[in-house]
Structure 1
């Protein structure tokens, strides 16, 4: 399976990573910041101080996620838009959204379902966009 590393669409991986980073910034910083703070039980609290890892960490994690999808695309020989969309939904719902809820269901998250419902759509949409990028670019 790992013999396909040379077949990864590196340009699509780079483009998808940048697009998802931008989408994440817009979604979490401008679309749902109040709802996100509420889901974390931080409504009315001052925003936490920004750290370097807050910007670099999600970008690197997104790169790993997209690169993994690129590897699977090459190994599975996915070349059609339909298969790319199916892959994006399966990975988005089956792995990313499920993992989002798994992480949130613990005592440190006062509203785990709300947290999952706010975060999961970003990951599902991101997975579908990654699939499209990997097949169209």
Structure 2
């Protein structure tokens, strides 16, 4: 695995990171923002600003997912966008969505299934997109 790290295409990792981050910005604001807020039991104030951590953590997480996906692509010998998409789907559903659903089911989450569906589906789409971008490089 360490050898796989040395063979990463860092431009591809950067592109996948940026794509995942931008997708998240779209997913959790104009596309599904209202539904996501309702699932959490909150409402956004028009014109309110979120603290920097609201942007920094998702960006760092997108970078970590992109690096891990790149390592898996190199280590497993995945080639082409089709195999990359399949790997992204396995990672997205098998890890990200599964963990999201598990974490959503807790006593303080007002609408756990809605939260898990919105957040989990973002993670699946993001993992597939990142894998395809990295695999295309």
Shared fold (TM-score, shorter chain, > 0.5): yes
Structure 2 residues not aligned, in runs of 5+:
none
Runs of 4+ in 1 over 3 A off after TM superposition: 45-49
Give 1:25's aligned residue. 25
Distance 1:131 1:33 in 2: 25
Structure 1 residues not aligned, in runs of 5+:
none
Query: Once the 2 structures are TM-superposed, how far is the Cα of residue 81 of structure 1 from its aligned partner?
Result: 2.2
Please report the TM-score for the alignment, with normalisation by the length of structure 1: 0.92
1:1-40 equivalent positions in 2, closer than 5 A: 1-40=1-40
Query: What is the root-mean-square deviation of aligned Cα atoms in Å?
Result: 1.5
- Deviation readout 1:47-102 (Å, 9 max, x if unpaired): 77511100111000110011111111111111122211110110010001001111
- Deviation readout 1:16-49 (Å, 9 max, x if unpaired): 1011111110111111121111101124x64775
- Deviation readout 1:91-125 (Å, 9 max, x if unpaired): 01000100111111111211111101111111111
Give 1:93's aligned residue. 93
Residues paired across the two proteins, number: 136
Distance 1:125 1:80 in 2: 18
Distance 1:9 1:98 in 2: 28
Report the 3-state secondary structure (helix = DSSP H, G, I; strand = E; otherwise coil) of the residue aligned with 2:107: coil
Please report the TM-score for the alignment, with normalisation by the length of structure 2: 0.92
Instruction: Compare 111-120 and 45-54 and name the one that shifted more.
Output: 45-54
